[in-house]
Amino acid sequence: MRLFLLALAALPLAVFGEPAQLQIPAPEVDSGYLKLGFDRLSSFKFIAPEYDPLANPKAAPPTGEEQIPPAVKGWSGRKAIVTGFMLPTKLENGKAVEFLLMANQMACCYGVVPNMNDWVIVRIPKGVPITQDVPIAFRGMFRVNATFESGYMTGIYQLDAEGPGQVEE
């Protein structure tokens, strides 16, 4: 009987094989820049690991890196174009020097908490005019790695922007 139950439990693997890896299509390339839309960036489930920096301030926070598909990790260190909605987080002289480029505007106005892979942290030291409520594209060096502020995870994607964004029609 025990052998029968083991065989029965293994049947789905025998019929269907191992669980399929998430297949993320390769992004288009435009003048040497990967075109990374949120259809790709948000195509997998990412849950920020629980961590309390106050409980053990000397412990390294978990990154959740094991949740990021290899194809997505492969985009790190490459030039990319990302289009989204600007949500300023740091201003200098009336210009945004750091902001979130978000998949949609839902977090801003309707209180829907986005997933960690629904935004890109964009930094641009010279600053750019604040442009909200319209999709805007930025080019620059794209990185995939967990970032932290005061011990709390703030994102998994970053873009060091090269210049002002381009409003998308």
Pairing of strands 136-149, 166-167: antiparallel
Over residues 52-67, mean pLDDT: 84
The helix/strand/coil state of 147 is strand
Rg of the chain (C-alpha set): 20
What residue type is 140 in one-letter code? Answer: G
Q: What is the mean pLDDT of residues 26-47?
A: 95
Strand-pairing partners, residue 149, are 152
- Residue 90: CATH number of its domain: 2.40.50.870
| pLDDT given at position 14 | 39
Query: In this structure, is residue 11 part of a structural domain?
Result: no
pLDDT digit string, tens, across residues 60-83: 888 999 999 999 999 999 999 999
Q: How far is CA 22 from CA 67, 68, 87, 120, 132, in A?
A: 11, 10, 30, 21, 33
For range 78-102, the mean pLDDT: 96
Question: Can you give the residue range of the structural domain that contains 158?
Answer: 24-167
Contacts of 36 (CB under 8 A, 6+ apart): 27, 75, 80, 81, 82, 142
Tally of residues, the chain: 169
Domain count, the chain: 1
Does any domain span residue 19? no
